[in-house]
């Protein structure tokens, strides 16, 4: 069977703004009274110093837009970002769009038919025989099941596959409210926009990362802890403060079982790509996995520089790790989302 290897990365992000600029120029006016003071503390302690927005609230307030208008804007903004990321990934892998056998697109921040998978396949010149898969509404962990589907295709068919994660969370700023809604404030303080594409090919390509295994666990008893609801004014995030507690109960067993199946242990992992749902999430994972202080440096750096971009974020971290002066030999990816669901993947460098 063909071993699926990540052979090309491509990233694309809209213009950014500093967190303090976003607070001073927009969000400080979005909240009032005691809510403003709480929001200011949450923004200051978010771990985010800069993030990107296709629809920048400093220039354009979408908080009262109806969902239909937001979805139309999604197509306008997501298509060029996705095209840029995919083009860079294909170039890095040394492939043409016509070589792609399966095109997987993950996104939970916009919907339309024909979707990004069809429009990008058309604009980039993919073959009419290219198979497509759209992964929607899985949230922050979607990159991993998307990676799993692409890997399985490469293994079964011996042909290249392409994964694109594209999210425009900036389209879903919610209307201002007099009542205190801590979950919504946290969402407004963390989320950002990005598109990341990866190309997977069969065989041990030098300098790539082989996808050894993906695994998951879902605790359905906590399904209400993380939600993403379609409302008349965009998609609304629900984020319980109990999420870190649920992660602490499952993350060690998930990781240890994954590594044990490959004759390995945490001490042999030199690269950790952990989705930064927020500073508390990273602190819990660091504690439960007994990681050294520098273990989650890449995850914290991505949170600081890019915010939480939902599904592309964990791929941004892998990209940062692989571009290090000394790239890690073994990477564990971890991402979390509605369910509550924890996904993990083991990558190994192929050179």
pLDDT digits (tens, 9 = 90+) for 300-325: 999 999 999 999 999 999 999 999 99
CA dihedral 107, 111, 112, 113 (to 10 degrees): 60
State whether 110 and 246 are in the same domain: no
Average pLDDT taken over every residue of the chain:
95
Q: For the chain, what is the total number of helices (H) and then of strands (E)?
A: 11, 13
Is 140 in the active site?
A: yes
pLDDT digits (tens, 9 = 90+) for 270-293: 999 999 999 999 999 999 999 998
User: Is residue 51 very low, low, confident or very high in pLDDT (cuts 50, 70, 90)?
Assistant: very high
Mean pLDDT of 200-209: 88
State whether 101 and 157 are in the same domain: yes
pLDDT digits (tens, 9 = 90+) for 72-95: 999 999 999 999 999 999 999 999
What secondary structure does DSSP assign to 26-41, as a single string?
Answer: IIHHH--HHHHHHHHH
User: Is residue 196 very low, low, confident or very high in pLDDT (cuts 50, 70, 90)?
Assistant: very high
**What CATH number is given to the structural domain containing 325?**
3.40.47.10
Domain end (from 152, 186, 202): 202
State whether 15 and 60 are in the same domain: yes
User: Is residue 70 very low, low, confident or very high in pLDDT (cuts 50, 70, 90)?
Assistant: very high
Size of the chain, expressed as the number of residues it contains: 351
pLDDT value at 132 more than 90: yes
Which is catalytic among the residues 106, 140, 165, 309? 140
Residue 315 pLDDT: 98
State whether 112 and 254 are in the same domain: no
Tokens 């491509």 appear where? 10
Element (H or E) spanning 21, and its range?
helix 19-22
Maximum CA extent, the chain: 62
User: Is residue 178 very low, low, confident or very high in pLDDT (cuts 50, 70, 90)?
Assistant: low
HEC profile for 264-290? Answer: CCHHHCCEEEECCCCHHHHHHHHHHCC
State whether 182 and 242 are in the same domain: no
Work out how many domains the chain is built from and give that number. 2
Domain that includes residue 90, residue range: 4-202
Residue 230, SS3 per DSSP: strand
Mean pLDDT of 248-256: 96
State whether 85 and 174 are in the same domain: yes
Strands (E) across the chain are located at 4-12, 16-18, 50-52, 102-107, 131-136, 161-168, 193-202, 209-218, 226-231, 234-239, 271-274, 330-337, 341-349
């Amino acid at each position: 069977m063909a071993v699926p290897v990540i052979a090309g990365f491509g990233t694309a992000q809209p213009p950014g703004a500093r967190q303090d600029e976003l607070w001073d120029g927009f969000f400080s006016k979005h909240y009032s009274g005691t809510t403003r003071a709480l929001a200011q503390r949450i923004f200051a302690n978010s771990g985010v110093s800069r993030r990107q927005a296709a629809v920048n609230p400093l220039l354009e307030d979408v908080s009262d837009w109806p969902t239909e208008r937001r979805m139309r804007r999604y197509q306008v903004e997501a298509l060029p970002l996705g095209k840029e990321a995919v083009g860079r990934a294909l170039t890095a892998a040394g492939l043409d769009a016509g070589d792609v056998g399966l095109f997987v697109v993950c996104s939970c921040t916009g919907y339309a038919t024909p979707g990004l998978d069809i429009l990008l396949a058309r604009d980039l010149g993919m073959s009419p025989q290219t198979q497509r898969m759209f992964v929607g509404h899985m949230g922050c962990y979607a990159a991993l099941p998307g990676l799993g589907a692409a890997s399985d295709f490469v293994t079964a068919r011996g042909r290249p596959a392409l994964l694109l994660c594209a999210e425009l969370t900036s389209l879903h700023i919610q209307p201002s409210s007099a009542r205190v809604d801590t979950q919504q404030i946290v969402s407004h303080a963390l989320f950002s926009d990005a598109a990341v594409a990866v190309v997977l090919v069969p065989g041990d390509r030098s300098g790539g990362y082989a996808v050894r295994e993906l695994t998951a666990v879902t605790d359905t008893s906590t399904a209400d802890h993380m939600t993403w609801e379609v409302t008349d004014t965009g998609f609304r995030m629900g984020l319980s403060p109990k999420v870190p507690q649920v992660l602490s109960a499952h993350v060690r067993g998930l990781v240890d079982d994954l590594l044990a199946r490959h004759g390995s242990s945490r001490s042999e992992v030199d690269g950790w790509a952990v989705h930064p749902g927020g500073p508390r999430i990273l602190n819990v994972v660091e504690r439960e996995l007994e990681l050294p202080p520098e273990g989650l440096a890449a995850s914290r750096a991505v949170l600081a520089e890019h915010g939480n971009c939902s599904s592309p974020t964990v791929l941004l971290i892998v990209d940062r790790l692989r571009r290090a002066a000394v790239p890690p030999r073994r990477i564990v990816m971890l991402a979390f989302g509605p369910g509550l669901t924890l996904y993990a993947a083991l990558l190994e460098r192929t050179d």
